[in-house]
Copies of this chain bind each other. A is one copy, B any other.
Amino acid sequence: MAKTTTSNPAGAARQRGVTMNDVAKHAGVSRTAVSFVLSNRENASISEETRARINEAVQALGYRPNAGARALASQRSDWYGIVTEIVTAPFAVDIIKGAQDQAWLDRKFLLIAPSDQADAVGPNQGLEDAAIEKLLEQRVEGLLYAATYHRGVHVPDSASEVPTVLINCFDADGRLPSIVPDERAGGRVAVERLLQAGHRRIGVINLDPDIPAAVGRLAGAREALAEAGLKLDPQLVVPGHATADGGYEAACQILDRYTEKDRPTALFCLNDRMAMGAYDAIKERGLTIPGDIAVIGFDNQELIAAYLRPKLTTVALPFEKMGALGVQTLAALTAGQPIIADQQLVGCPLLERSSV
Contact = CB atoms under 8 A, between A and B. Distances in A.
Interface of A: 17, 64-69, 71-72, 77, 87-88, 90, 93-94, 96-97, 100-101, 104, 109-112, 114, 133-134, 136-139, 243-245, 248, 273, 276-277, 280, 283, 301, 303-304, 307-309
A59 to B, nearest CB: 14
Please give me the 7 A-B residue pairs with the lowest Cβ-Cβ distance, nearest first: A244-B307, A90-B93, A303-B303, A67-B137, A68-B68, A67-B138, A68-B71
Contact of A114 (B101, B245, B280, B308): B101
B101 A97 contact: no
A90 B64 CA distance: 31
A301 B301 CA distance: 12
Contact of A87 (B88, B100, B301): B100
A111 B111 contact: yes
A64 B136 CA distance: 8
22 contacts: A64-B137, A65-B137, A68-B68, A68-B71, A68-B72, A68-B77, A87-B93, A90-B93, A90-B94, A93-B93, A97-B114, A104-B114, A109-B138, A110-B112, A112-B112, A243-B307, A244-B308, A248-B309, A273-B303, A273-B307, A277-B307, A304-B304
Contacts of A134: 109
B309 A280 contact: yes
Contacts of A244: 307-309
A138 B104 CA distance: 15
Contacts of A112: 100, 110, 112
Given A244-B307, A248-B309, A277-B307, 13 more contacts: A64-B137, A66-B137, A68-B71, A68-B139, A72-B72, A90-B93, A100-B114, A111-B111, A243-B307, A245-B309, A273-B303, A273-B307, A276-B307
A49 B303 CA distance: 61
B111 A109 contact: yes
Nearest to A90: B93
A86 B283 CA distance: 35
Nearest to A304: B303
Contact of A307 (B65, B69, B283, B304): B304
A139 B280 contact: no
A88 B94 CA distance: 8
A136 B18 CA distance: 12
